[in-house]
Amino acid sequence: MELKELNNLSVDELNQREKLLKKEIFELRQKSRLGQAEKPASFKGLRKEIARILTIINERKNQNGKKN
C-alpha cells in the first residue's frame, strides 16, 4: 500500500491493517520453517509497511497532543 493511501486511512483502519500484516508475517514464518515459503523476501516489505503504519499513527498522536 502506498504512503498516500495509508495517510487517508483512519487510526482504527491503520491498526487493523497492522494486525493483518503481523498475522501475515506470522504465517510466512510458519511456512518458511516448514520450507514452504514462496517468497521469503516478502518479509522485508511487510516489516517496512508495518513501520510506515506505526509512524503515521505516532505522528497523528503527536499532532493531537500539541493542539490540546
CATH code for the domain in which residue 25 is found? 1.10.287
State the cell numbers at 8.
487517508
Q: Which domain holds residue 60?
A: 3-67
pLDDT of amino acid 65: 79
- Structurally, the chain folds into a number of domains equal to 1
Q: Is the pLDDT of residue 39 over 70?
A: yes
pLDDT of amino acid 9: 93
Q: Is the pLDDT of residue 67 over 70?
A: no
**5-33 tens-digit pLDDT:** 999 999 999 999 999 999 999 998 888 88
Q: Which residue has the higher pLDDT, 4 or 20?
A: 20
Q: How far is 10 from 51, CA to CA, in rounded Å?
A: 16
Return the number of other C-beta atoms located less than 10 Å from residue 14's C-beta. Answer: 18
Burial of 53 (C-beta count, 10 Å sphere; 0-12/13-18/19+): buried
pLDDT of amino acid 68: 53
